[in-house]
Structure formats: C-alpha cells, structure tokens
Structure 1
C-alpha cells in the first residue's frame, strides 16, 4: 500500500490560478483536466497526479537551471 492512500490527499493549489499557453497552471502545474473536479476524483487518481507534479517540477527546475547556466557562460564573442 502506498503511503498516500492512508491520508486524504490535499489539493495542490497554491492560489496562483493562471494558465500558460498549453493549459497548465503556473502555480500548481496541473493541466485543466487535472484541476477540474479535484475533490471528486478518486484518491488513486489524485495520487497519480501528485506524482506527475513532482516530475513536472523537476523538469521545470532543470530547465530554469539550464537557462541560468547558459546566461552565466560567456559566448565566444565575449571572450575577445
């Protein structure tokens, strides 16, 4: 049994309810379908969505780190 099944699964909404151009919330990273009727979804589906959110946050963090790293690395034009 997964530990998430032992507890009620809270809504991951953080109150930043804006969607990007692909329909994902900028606050909680859920898709429109994942946000719709959260409280009516079975616990197993909500747990699955939470696992997806962990992966999305990791990818977003990696992408942001790559952007910062590329900005810190001087281009070949800056070396001369």
Structure 2
C-alpha cells in the first residue's frame, strides 16, 4: 500500500511546482520502499518453498517407513495403478 501512496506523493510534488528537495526525498524513500518490498517478497518465497520441501521430505520418509513394516504378501496381493 506504500508504493501507490509514494507515487501519488511524487506526482503531487512534481506537478505542484514545489521544491526539488521534497521530490528528491520522496523518490529516495520510494526506492527504499521498493527495495524493502522486494526483500520481503524474496523472504516470503524462500520460507514458503523451504517449508514445502520439508513437508514433502517428511511425507516421503513416513511412506518409506510404513512400506518397510508392510509384509511382502500384502505387497503381492495389492495392485497399484
């Protein structure tokens, strides 16, 4: 929500005929907000993919452990696919 607000402030500062220092400050803050947004998005994606990989690993390990306990006669009788 900060990015559209900053764009609006920059447009108001540029069109309003105000001082250039205000516009420069707004642009610098805007660049900082964009960098912060990109870093937060990267962190979110990284944590999400890491969690998904751990869940998949746990499911595979659980299935392997279960198949080690199942008798061979059950495997011969049960058709898959």
State the TM-score, normalizing by the size of structure 2.
Answer: 0.52
Number of residue equivalences: 56
- Does residue 36 of structure 1 match 2:23? no
Secondary structure of residue in 1 paired with 2:22: helix
Structure 2 gaps, min length 5: 59-81
Q: Which has the larger radius of gyration?
A: 2
> What is the TM-score when the length of structure 1 is the normalising length?
0.53
Q: CA deviation at 1:60?
A: 0.5
Unaligned runs of 5+ in 1: 1-19
Which protein is richer in helix relative to its size? 2
Sort the Cα spacing of 1:74 and 1:37 in 2 relative to 1 into closer, same or farther, 3 A. closer
Aligned mates of 2:47, 2:35 — CA distance in 1: 18
Aligned residues: CA RMSD: 2.4
